[in-house]
Structures are given as structure tokens and as C-alpha cells.
Structure 1
């Protein structure tokens, strides 16, 4: 039996592959390499280049590799882009997921793990948000993910498949062994952008909104280390394999940091000052969103990297590694 990881050449997916391969699992990666990199895929696993919406290809992978579980990362993730191009997000995140689920059901896949987002909650308060909170996404990105959550629940009620949904908060950092990290040159993740600015890859960085109802006026987010995030996936897969019921869990630490606090931490860790520009708010950005993570902790999840400075340090080390690998990319 094997596990199919879609989007396994991307940032989070490649870390999931490392986690599974380290645990001795048989893994197949399916990625169209639009935003992923083949060199990020661990040598111990099989990489197939293709699209999750290609039913014939997915069915072939499931049959030939005896896939019993799918962990689905492939999709689009940029909130402002989803506002500008919603059809792209409903295609990549909803329609393609529907086709993948259909192939999974037809192929007798037993378990399906889905990469969702805290954006399904929409505009919430400063307190941690639990999984049973009202779901009211304000962006096409959040709505496209929520639709996929609904599809999974309906399919699991009609077919012999169990699922796990993980709602991510803000993922950051890099593999502690420096085998993978956020490698997309134009990535919009705050910590990635900040360390790139510290290294001179960007002339300046922007803060979008400083008039939010938060302590310093900038957005507050819950930053989770990517290694802790993929460990939560592995734990949830084990729960399903052991006969556990389908479930939805938040993935965060339950503590938030503002944009300005993160930037200050990057400057402190790197020892480099860099220019920061404050601009207007972006559409679809809630003032604060912090995870209520009791449900995943009840399954036995114990974070190992709950330290903002440590997360920043690993992200910074990875960016410097990319300087060497890519012969120092020019300013974006």
C-alpha cells in the first residue's frame, strides 16, 4: 500500500513527503510543477508530473501503486489573487478537488487528508477560533476551500472513505535538517518576504494596513512551523488508519503575533535593518485570526517548534541556502 501526496513538490507538500519517507512509508507524489520544484522531492519517493484533475492519470496511479490514502495539497493559496481571479481558485481548489475525490472513490481509496485554511472562518475576533465557529469566508480562496470541505463530508457519508481536514493558520519555517523550505521566488508569506528583504532580494517590503483593531494596528496571525504542521497530518492519518472517525482540526499554536512584531523579530534574528513601507489594507484580510487547537492536541499532537524566533531563524537559513543554490537571485 502507498500514500499519494498531491502538490508534493511544493512548500508544505515536500515537507509532508519527508515526514512520511522518514517514517518508512511508500509515497507517490503527483505535482504539475507549476509552483513546485522537482528538486524538493525526496529521492526515496516516486514523482509523477501531472494534474490532479486528470482522472485517467490519477486512476492509473491509484491502481498501479495500491494507493490507500491521499494527502491533498495541490491548489492555489494567495488571498488577494483569489479576489482578482476567483475563477482560477474555484477551478484549482474546488473543481480539481472534486475530480480527485471522484477518482479516489472509484479507486477504493480508504482515507483522504485535505489541506484547508483558517480563511474559512472569515472575520473573527481577537480570541482563538475553534473548529465549530461560524464559517463565513470573505475571499474566494476561503470559499473555494470550504466548498471542498463540504464535498468531502458529503462523499464520506455516501461512500466507504474517511477524511481529515486540517485548517492551516500561517505556515512558516523550514525543515530542521535544511532539506526543504519555501522556495518560490515570488511567495507572499510574511516571514519569507521579510527575510528576503533582509538579504537584499527586495528593495523594501510592504505592510498592508496599520489601522486594524489590534494592539499595534497591524494584522495578527498564528504562525506554525511547517514541521509541526506536517506532523499533525501524520497524526491525523494514523487516527484514520486506526479506525478513527472523520474529523476537522485547526493547525496553529493558539497564540498570535502582529505583522510589526514579526518584522521586528526578523530584524532581531538576522541582525539586519531593512526598509518597511506601510500601505492600505488588502481585500479579504481579517484583523486577527488565531487557532483554537484543542482538538488536534486531544489526538496527541505536541508541537516541537513553537518559537517565533526559531521559525524565523530556520526560514533565514533556508533563504541563505537558496542564495548559494540559485547563485543569488536578483531583486524581485
Structure 2
């Protein structure tokens, strides 16, 4: 089996590509390297360019005629950046995805797995959601994901393509074999900032302590990126058996972890605990949510296998080798 992975040189896409290789599936990478890394494409079939470049997409399908499915991971993903540059985010995530879908239809590609986000949900008082929960995205980034899901559903309703949207919760960790990991030296998410604080010997800032959670800090469903990658492999293998009712699947651990609890887990893993300080919320941040659904297990046979501590350890291991693997640049 051969699969085209857009954004396959990024954190999620490159890890999915590794999992595909391990499962005997050949990944074909399409990435414009705006945020992805060329190093993550080494030894893999790679086309450098944009998902909106129709002639390039046509070339890929002409040269790789046995592509059976597409995993669409290409997107900009930083919430505060989306607040500051909504035009850029809608252009990159929505407008280009529409062009990409048109190119896939022209090349008779009938299977699309969309990298969506759990940030599109409206959460209840208990901060849990399932696939039927109402949507209420709270940032331009999240709204681009919701718009794309609706757009793809409209296309799939009348066109010869089937779309599965995987709503990821919060990825942590790295490929356990250290082939890939977060490409940024200083990522903006909580665990990345904890690692930065640990390396620099500075306090970690808990951004927001007035959320309606058990300790006031934001709550998330931290899922190991290798588990996410395994879910994509399962989705590819079971794609044709999915019903229309199963067009959206949550990928999370099913457990909520607050930022403060994540920091406590971090301090259990490292030799030298980090200091914690409290600060105000960031623009676009929300209290958060975690999934209460086991649909992924029912239809994909998938459950998260790695613990929070596994994700922290693998993130630390990657941080220690990142500069040597990526040449030290951002």
C-alpha cells in the first residue's frame, strides 16, 4: 500500500510516515517545508511544494499511480499566531485545503484522512467530549479545522471521495526510535515550555489558573504522538469498512490531565524539578477537554498505549538529540 502524506515533513506527518514504514506501507511525502524539516524526509519519497499546486499534485499521482489514500496533515497550528494572523491561517488551512481536495478529485483519489483537532469542541461542565458533542471553536486556528471538516463533508456527500476526520487531542512525545520529533527548539505548548525551563533552569509558567478545573489550570488529553501514528495506520487498514456514521473519530487517552498535573509528572521524571509560577491566560487559550468516547477502539481497534511519563521521557530524549539531527536550526 502507498499513501500520500501532506505535511509529511512536520511533527505529526513525519511520525505517521515512520509508523507507515514500520507497517509495510510506503509513504509519499508532500511538504512545502514552511514548518516541516527536510531531514524528516530522508530515505523517503519526497516532493517539495504546496498542496495548492495542482500541477505538482498531478505529477505526484502520475509518478506514483498506486497511491491508495491521502493523509492530510498540512496546516499551521499555533493558536496565538492564528489570533494575530487570521488571514494567513485561513489561507493556509482552508483555501489551500479546498484546492488540494479539488486536485485529489481530479486524480481520482477516493480516500482522505483529515488531520483535525479536538479544539473545535464546546466542552461541558465536566470538560469531556465525544464525537457527538457540539462544536464551538474558540480561536481562528480551531475554526479553520471546523470549516475544513464541514467543507470536506459537503464534498464527500456528492463527490467520489470518502473522508475520515481524526480529531487529535494534545500530542506529546516523539518517535521512540528518535527518527523524528518536534522540529522547533522552543515549541509553544506546555510540555515544550517545561523542557525549556528545565534546560535553562528557569521557572515554568502556568498560563491561566482561573479555569473551572479541579486545580484552576487548563486541562488537556495528552496523547503520545506514536499512539496517534498507530491510529493512522489502523485507519488506513480499516478505512473501507468504516460507515458514514464513523466519519469522525476522536484520538485521545480518555483521561484529563491539568497543566499543573503535567508539571508534577514532569518533575517525577526529571532529576532536577522545575519551579512553577502562575501567570495570566494566553490569547485564544481555553479551559480544554478530554475525550470520553471509545469509538476509536470500537471501529479501529485502537487505544493509546503510552503513559504521560512515556511522553515526557521521549520528549526529553528528543530534545537532547534534536540539534544534532536537525543541524541546530529552528
Question: Which residue in the other structure is 1:239 paired with?
Answer: 238
Question: Which residue in the other structure is 2:199 paired with?
Answer: 199
Point out where structure 1 has 5 or more consecutive residues left out of the alignment.
none
Which deviates more, 266-275 or 24-33? 266-275
Which deviates more, 172-181 or 111-120? 172-181
Residue pair 1:173, 1:311 contacting (<8 A) in 2 also:
yes
| Secondary structure at 1:199 match in 2 | helix
Residue pair 1:9, 1:33 contacting (<8 A) in 2 also:
yes
Residue pair 1:11, 1:180 contacting (<8 A) in 2 also:
yes
Aligned residues: 328
Question: Which residue in the other structure is 2:136 paired with?
Answer: 136
Question: Which residue in the other structure is 2:107 paired with?
Answer: 107
Which deviates more, 189-198 or 8-17? 189-198
Residue pair 1:198, 1:267 contacting (<8 A) in 2 also:
no
TM-score, scaled to structure 2 = 0.93
Deviation for aligned residue 1:152: 1.0
Residue pair 2:235, 2:300 contacting (<8 A) in 1 also:
no
1:227-254 Cα shifts (integer Å, max 9, x gaps): 1111111212222234654610111011
Question: Which residue in the other structure is 2:312 paired with?
Answer: 312
Question: Which residue in the other structure is 1:26 paired with?
Answer: 26
Closer/same/farther in 2, CA of residues 325 and 110 from structure 1, 3 Å limit: closer
Deviation for aligned residue 1:304: 5.0
Which deviates more, 99-108 or 242-251? 242-251
| Secondary structure at 1:186 match in 2 | coil
| Secondary structure at 1:51 match in 2 | coil
Deviation for aligned residue 1:323: 4.8
Question: Which residue in the other structure is 1:153 paired with?
Answer: 153
- 1:163-202 correspondence to structure 2 within 5 Å: 163-200=163-200
Deviation for aligned residue 1:189: 2.1
Q: What is the rounded CA distance, in whole Å, between the counterparts of 2:327 and 2:112 in structure 1?
A: 39
Point out where structure 2 has 5 or more consecutive residues left out of the alignment.
none
Question: Which residue in the other structure is 2:222 paired with?
Answer: 223
- 1:1-332 correspondence to structure 2 within 5 Å: 2-43=2-43, 45-66=44-65, 67-200=67-200, 203-242=202-241, 244-245=243-244, 247-303=247-303, 305-325=305-325
Residue pair 1:170, 1:224 contacting (<8 A) in 2 also:
yes
Deviation for aligned residue 1:53: 1.0
